[in-house]
Amino acid sequence: MEKIGDQEVLSFSLDIDDRTPDPERLLRAYFHSATTLNHLRGLLTSGFASLHQPRDWSLSHVRSPSLKNEFENIVEDLTDALDFSRTIGQDAGASFEHGGARSTVGEVDFYTSHEGLMLEYEQALTRECPVPKSVSTAPNQKGYYNTSAHFLWIGDRTRQIDGGHVEYFRGIRNPIGIKVGPSMKSDELIRLLDIVNPDKISGRVTLISRYGAGKVENYLPDHIKVVKASGHPVIWVCDPMHGNTLTSSTGLKTRHFRTIINELTSCIRIHSECDSRLGGVSLEFTGELNDEGFSVTECLGGSMELSEEQLGLRYQSFCDPRLNFEQSLDVAFLISNHYKNERRGKKKELEKDVLFTELSGSNGK
Query: Regarding beta strands 7-9 and 2-4, do their DSSP bridges make them parallel or antiparallel, or are they unpaired?
Result: antiparallel
Q: Where are the beta strands (DSSP E) in the chain?
A: 2-4, 7-9, 113-115, 126-130, 142-146, 151-154, 176-180, 205-209, 234-238, 245-247, 253-256, 278-281, 299-300
Are 94 and 84 contacting, i.e. CB atoms less than 8 angstroms apart?
no
Write the CA distances from 117 to 92, 150, 238, 301, integer angstroms. 46, 15, 20, 31
Cβ atoms of 276 and 238 within 8 Å: the answer is no
Ligand-binding annotation for 76, yes or no, is: no
Residue 239 three-state SS: coil
Rounded to an integer, what distance in angstroms lies between the CA atom of residue 129 and that of residue 67? Answer: 50
Measured distance between the N- and C-terminal CA atoms of the chain, rounded to whole angstroms? 38
Residue 179 annotated as lining a ligand binding site: yes
Tell me if 19 is assigned to a ligand binding site: no
Instruction: Check whether 284 is labelled as a binding-site residue.
Output: yes
**Residue 141: how many other CB atoms lie within 10 Å:** 13
Q: CA-to-CA distance for 181 and 178, rounded, in angstroms?
A: 10
Task: Report the alpha-carbon angle 220-176-118, nearest 5.
Answer: 110
Residue 288, CA distances (Å) to 6, 204, 295 in order: 33, 32, 6
Distance from C-alpha of 265 to C-alpha of 54, rounded to nearest angstrom = 25
Q: How far is CA 157 from the centre of its chain?
A: 19
210 is in an annotated binding site: yes
CA distance 284 to 165: 23
Q: How far apart (Å, rounded) are the C-alpha atoms in residues 93 and 7?
A: 54
Q: Which residues are annotated as a binding site?
A: 179, 210, 242, 284, 320
Binding residues for phosphoenolpyruvate, by number, are 179, 210
- Known binding residues for Mn(2+): 242, 284, 320
